[in-house]
A and B are shown apart, each in its own frame.
Chain A
């Protein structure tokens, strides 16, 4: 056999090895994918769509692996490439083989002799072994592992069907328990995007509200009954299987399965779809403004556990006061949620377009709706922010509610101005004489003192006090009230205003809770004033900065329009219950009406007793007898009774005529010298 024939034989062997390796890799890849799918299916109950796709993907990847492997080893098909490979793996050839195969010249006999002396079977065997053993081993292991899986698991991957499950057919030696094995397939509502899953022999089934449950088992459907609560369920059969299909109830229920004397309970636990969470980020707080134009930035974020359908802003504009209110409402910036779990909406609300007037209140909130088409849609809204447009005359009268913004703003500017003056004085201080420093510092101290009294005014006004304790106690320009005294006085004012304060946290006094920032500002101003009085502007600056910061905090922390506290009406219970002292009662010591003597009193007693019988028919007879008795002694009363009796006999309302009759019998109202001390209501 010459060299060319030997190389040709080698090429055939290598080609066969390449084909085997390619097929081996293809099979290994495909079977590994199928094995992983089956294992995943066993663990997570993969949906039908995924399993069907996995089979196609496995075939495609197997073919691809085969082709790639074959392509990468394409040199095995060409004689020259094989010769080069032999030269590489058998160096003793000394390029004699390549020279022969490529016909590159030289002595053919000498080359043939040289090649004939070289044996390359060993490297060839190693190459074929390495190239084919690994893929064939992997393919064998994957196939073996796949075939060792349970039959129904193999079937679910090999031939997936939409309605297949893990419920295995009962073997001849298996238990005759009709409820074992039991399989529950959960099909979540489509909007959730959740995958279906199957439970084997569960005691309880927890699933999203709106899911459909398919319960399967082995038993004769003719003897099997199923029910949830008082309602029974239809049982259908398919071969040796029974199937019950029901929606997940809205509330936890127990499913009862009964056949013969055996029964099984299955708890159905619905998991509700949460409504969206909506947060209004801007505006961050309620506010009041004077201008009717401009833009208010709105910003909100919405989240949902499965996906949002849409989100938008709603506004209501209320106009009017007292008993006359009108409303307008609208929706702006509606945005599709695109099934996202989180969505932000932002827009600018143009006040010009709302045709606002003074006294209007704009209520703004963000609303979001989820995609729950099963039990929803879930609709949720953020907290509402209000933007109040001030009336033009608001603030002109002392009877209006205390307006924190105006007070706070003016205090803020003044405090900032005083701070600038003090800082300027401190910078100039090295160049000034001590007397000048003290003089200018005390001037600032006087302004600081005046500003402090204004803050005290605000505190008192908001607590319902009629004026500043500082103003009333101190002389003009001089303050006698310490911070502690101010707090005590403010507290006294709050408690003396009747009843409890509106609202305050548990750990603080009402005064501190309501006015904390302003009290901080007040205290800081007090400290600053003291330093300025002794001509130490540098030491006053930190306190002044603290006061400025506290005022800013007060502006931001509180609602800007506080309502007044209505004056409570205290009911005199003893007086209402007629349980007052004798000296407080009517001096006459009699009832409110004058009775007409003993006969009339007896008639009144009988009449009252008869009224107790109403609406019984006996009352009509009794009234008739009473009328006859009264004809002599109280003719007016008897005459008034006639229409009452007629109305009662006809089944009509006799209240008015009975009241008139009673008034006649009771006599006219008593007159006294003074006002009665009780109201006399029935």
Chain B
């Protein structure tokens, strides 16, 4: 069995590299809590490249408007059609922001409309149990951005599994710190990332 490689999507239109420490943090958590074979470093994969299809879970974030090129739309459709999962997080922590508006527009165009994901979805119990749904982030609790605590994540589901997961909670900021500093947290706020990985690999 090949090891899990955390992939960050590089797309043409925006600042795809705005959360460079998220991959390391997710990998750290996957290694810390699970026995999954995991690569020690993530990769950056072009959304319009066939290499995208090598990765079961692809992470996409940014602040700026998201406009997929034709090649990116085509490869993203391929990824979803083959059972891959795209996790999109609004780094702009702003529900009415341009990232949000353009990203959901592009996702709807490529994969279909986003719907609220129920808080008892198997994603929230794929490894750790999050009975209240998606964990809140400090950006939400501090009232930054849209000044909302988003009760749900949104998703496009295909045949009962999540194909595209969309978050307005700004996990990109929440998880964008060096894993060495994780020891100072009373509660590891990246545990939800383990659920994402386990869900993407098992469903």
Residues of A with Cβ closer than 8 Å to B?
316, 318, 323, 325, 327, 329, 361, 363, 365, 381, 383-384, 386, 499-500, 502-503, 506, 563, 565-573, 576-577, 679-682
**Please, which residues of chain A bring their CB within 8 A of the CB of B41?**
499, 568-571
Q: Out of B50, B63, B67, B188, which one reaches A383, CB within 8 Å?
A: B67
Across the interface, which residues of B come within 8 angstroms of A363, CB to CB?
13, 64-65, 67
A619 and B179 CA atoms in complex are apart in Å by 35
What are the 7 tightest A-B residue pairs by CB atom distance, in nearest-first order?
A: A569-B24, A384-B67, A679-B183, A566-B20, A503-B46, A327-B98, A576-B31
The contact of B63 among A325, A381, A500, A506, by CB within 8 Å, is: A325
Give A567 to B20 CA distance when docked, in angstroms: 8
Bound-state Cα–Cα, A569 to B38, Å? 14
Q: Are A383 and B65 in contact (CB under 8 A)?
A: no
Whole-angstrom distance from the CB of B129 to the nearest CB of chain A?
A: 12
Question: What residue of chain B has the Cβ atom nearest to residue A575's Cβ?
Answer: B31
In whole angstroms, how far apart are the Cα atoms of A499 and B23 in the complex? 13
Does B82 lie at the interface of the complex (its beta carbon under 8 Å from any beta carbon of A)? no
Can you name the residue of chain B whose Cβ is closest to the Cβ of A566?
Answer: B20
Q: How far is the CB of B184 from chain A (nearest CB, A)?
A: 9
The smallest beta-carbon distance between A401 and chain B, in angstroms, is 11
On chain A, the residues within 8 Å of B23 by CB distance are 568-569
Looking across the interface, which residue of chain A has its beta carbon closest to that of B187? Answer: A682
List of B residues within 8 angstroms of A576 by Cβ? 28, 31-32, 179
Q: Do the beta carbons of A318 and B64 come within 8 Å of each other?
A: yes
A563 to B16, CA, bound (A): 10
Known: A499-B43, A570-B41, A571-B31. A680 touches B10 (CB 8 A): no
Q: Would you call B98 and A316 a contact (CB within 8 A)? A: yes
Q: Is B173 an interface residue (CB 8 A)?
A: yes
Give the Cβ gap from A402 to chain B, nearest Cβ, in Å: 15
Q: Cβ of B21 and Cβ of A569 under 8 Å apart?
A: yes
Q: For A572, what are the chain B residues with a Cβ–Cβ distance below 8 Å? A: 40
Contact A571:B182 (CB < 8 A) given known A383-B69, A383-B70: no
* In contact, A502 and B10 (Cβ under 8 angstroms): yes
A681 touches B188 (CB 8 A): yes
A566 cross-chain contacts in B, Cβ below 8 A: 17, 20, 44
Distance to closest chain B CB from A383 (angstroms): 5
A-B contact count (CB 8 A): 94
Docked CA distance A316–B65 (Å): 8
**Residue among B42, B49, B64, B179 making CB contact with A568, cutoff 8 Å:** B42
Restricting to B163-187, which residues have a CB under 8 Å from any CB of A?
173, 178-180, 182-183, 185, 187
14 contacts between A and B (CB under 8 A): A361-B64, A363-B64, A363-B65, A365-B67, A568-B41, A568-B42, A570-B24, A571-B24, A571-B28, A571-B179, A572-B40, A577-B31, A682-B187, A682-B188
* Residue in contact with B97 in the complex, picked from A327, A365, A386, A568, CB distance below 8 Å: A327
Distance in angstroms from A118 CB to nearest chain B CB is: 90
12 other A-B residue contacts (CB within 8 Å) besides A502-B46, A576-B31, A679-B179: A318-B65, A361-B64, A363-B64, A500-B44, A502-B44, A570-B24, A571-B40, A576-B179, A679-B180, A679-B183, A680-B183, A681-B32
Residue B27 lies at the interface, judged by CB distance under 8 Å to chain A: yes
Q: Which residues of B contact A567 (CB under 8 A)?
A: 20
Q: Mark B10-35, 1 if CB is under 8 A from A, else 0.
A: 10010001001101100110011000
Q: Is the pair A325, B64 in contact by a Cβ cutoff of 8 Å? A: yes
For B13, B69, B97, the residue with the greatest tally of chain A CB atoms inside 10 Å of its CB is B13
B92 lies within 8 A of chain A by Cβ? yes
Complex Cα–Cα for A576 and B36 (A): 13
CB-CB under 8 A from B98, the residues of chain A are: 316, 318, 325, 327, 329
CB neighbours (8 Å) of B50 from chain A are 506
Alpha-carbon distance A572/B28, docked complex (angstroms): 8
A503 pairs with B49, CB closer than 8 A: yes
Binary per-residue interface labels of chain B (51-93) against chain A in the complex, 1 for a CB within 8 Å, 0 otherwise: 0000000000001110101100000000000000000000010
Contact A323 B173 (CB under 8 A): yes
Set of chain A residues within 8 Å of B70, measured between Cβ atoms: 383
B32 proximity list for chain A (CB < 8 A): 576-577, 681
Given contacts A571-B28, A681-B185, whether A384 and B20 have CB atoms under 8 Å apart is: no
Whole-angstrom distance between the alpha carbons of A503 and B67 in the complex? Answer: 18
**Closest residue of chain A to B44, judged by CB?**
A502
Chain A contacts for B102, CB-based, 8 A: 316
A577, B30: Cα distance in complex, Å: 10
A residues less than 8 Å from B183 (CB atoms): 679-681
Partner of B182, one of A323, A383, A577, A681: A681
Residues of A within 8 A of B10 (CB): 502-503
Cβ contacts under 8 Å, A318 to chain B: 63-65, 98
CB distance from B134 to the nearest CB of A (A): 19
On chain B, the residues within 8 Å of A681 by CB distance are 32, 182-183, 185, 188
- Minimal Cβ-Cβ distance residue in B for A364: B67
Interface centre among A316, A361, A570, A571 (most CB of B within 10 A): A571
Expressed in whole angstroms, the Cα–Cα distance for A500 and B17 within the complex equals: 15
Residue of A nearest to B72 (CB): A383
Question: What's the Cα separation between A569 and B43 when bound, in Å?
Answer: 11
Q: Please tell me if the beta carbons of A573 and B40 are within 8 angstroms of each other in the complex.
A: yes
Q: In the complex, which of the residues B13, B40, B63, B180 contacts A386, with contact meaning CB atoms closer than 8 Å?
A: B13
User: From residue A507, how far is it (CB to closest CB) to chain B in Å?
Assistant: 12
Please give me the residue from chain A that is nearest to B170 by CB atom: A323
Residue of B nearest to A659 (CB): B186
In angstroms, Cα B40 to Cα A571, docked, is 5
Report A-chain residues with C-beta under 8 Å of the C-beta of B46.
502-503
Kindly provide the distance from the CB of A321 to the nearest chain B CB, expressed in whole angstroms. Answer: 9
Q: A502-B10, A566-B17 are in contact. Are A573 and B67 (CB under 8 A)?
A: no
Once A316-B98, A323-B173, A568-B41 are accepted as A-B contacts, the answer to whether A573 and B31 lie under 8 Å apart by CB is yes
How many Å lie between the Cα of A185 and that of B186 in the bound state? 70
Chain A, Cβ-Cβ closest to B67: A384
Closest chain-B Cβ to A248's Cβ sits at a distance in Å of: 21
Q: Which residues of B contact A383 (CB under 8 A)?
A: 67, 69-70
Please state if B92 and A325 are interface contacts (CB–CB under 8 Å): yes
From A327, A365, A572, residue with most partner B Cβ within 10 Å = A327
| A592 shortest CB reach to chain B, Å | 10
CA distance A323 to B142 in the complex (A): 15
In the assembly, what is the distance between CA of A565 and CA of B41, in Å? Answer: 14
Closest to A676 in B: B183
Interface centre among B65, B97, B180, B187 (most CB of A within 10 A): B65
- Of all chain B residues, which has the CB nearest A579? B31
Chain B: minimal CB distance from A377 (Å): 14
Closest-by-CB residue of B relative to A316 is B65
Minimum distance in angstroms from A646 CB to a CB of chain B: 22
Taking CB atoms and an 8 Å cut-off, the chain B residues in 148-203 that contact chain A are 173, 178-180, 182-183, 185, 187-188
In the complex, A353→B38 CA distance in Å?
52
A570-B13 in contact (CB<8A): no
Q: Which residues on the A side are within 8 Å of B64 (C-beta)?
A: 318, 325, 361, 363
What is the CA–CA distance of A327 and B100 in the complex, to the nearest angstrom? 12
**List of A residues within 8 angstroms of B20 by Cβ:** 566-567, 569
Counting chain B CB atoms within 10 Å of each CB, the highest count among A325, A565, A567 belongs to A325
Least distance between B125 CB and chain A CB atoms (Å): 15
